[in-house]
């Protein structure tokens, strides 16, 4: 078992704050924030697709996140997913619901549309 890491962050409202650094945190903690704004973020997981004329387009970026000194809301570790410019946080149950919705959309929405489009292009309809 590895020793725990700590990091000290210079804050505007509480001076230097020393806190445990989770093993999954991969971002720096710049000075000049309020203590409640200190945030741990894990590695980003991004879905991407190559679109003709646009190149590689990323979507549904997701990562672990935690605000250990949050003044409102939860201090628990969550997953944040970028959706339509927003960054909602998900707990395990709601993240499962999101994954199920994406899977269902792919299986019952996108793949049938692909088949229909292919049939139209092949002149079958």
pLDDT for the residue 23:
95
Half-sphere exposure of 89 toward its Cβ, with a 13 Å CA cutoff? 12
pLDDT for the residue 40:
97
64: number of Cβ within 10 Å:
18
Residue 5 pLDDT > 60? yes
Tell me 106's DSSP state.
I
Residue 108 pLDDT > 60? yes
Contacts of 27 (CB under 8 A, 6+ apart): 39, 40, 41
- Rounded to the nearest 5°, which phi and psi values hold at 33? -105, 165
Question: Residue 70's pLDDT band (boundaries 50, 70, 90)?
Answer: very high
Distance CA(105)–CA(116), nearest Å, equals 15
Once rounded to an integer, what is the mean pLDDT over residues 84-105? 94
């Amino acid at each position: 078992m590895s020793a725990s890491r700590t990091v000290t962050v210079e804050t505007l409202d509480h001076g230097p704050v020393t806190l445990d650094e989770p093993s999954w945190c991969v971002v720096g903690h710049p000075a000049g924030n309020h203590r409640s704004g200190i945030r741990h973020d894990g590695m980003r997981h991004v879905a991407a697709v190559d679109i003709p004329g646009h190149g590689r387009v990323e979507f549904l970026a997701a990562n672990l996140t935690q605000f250990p000194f949050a003044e409102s809301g939860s201090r628990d570790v969550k997953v944040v997913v970028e959706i339509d410019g927003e960054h909602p946080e998900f707990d395990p149950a709601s993240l499962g619901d999101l994954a199920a919705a994406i899977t269902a959309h792919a299986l019952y929405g996108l793949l049938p549309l692909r088949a229909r489009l292919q049939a139209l292009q092949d002149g079958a309809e």
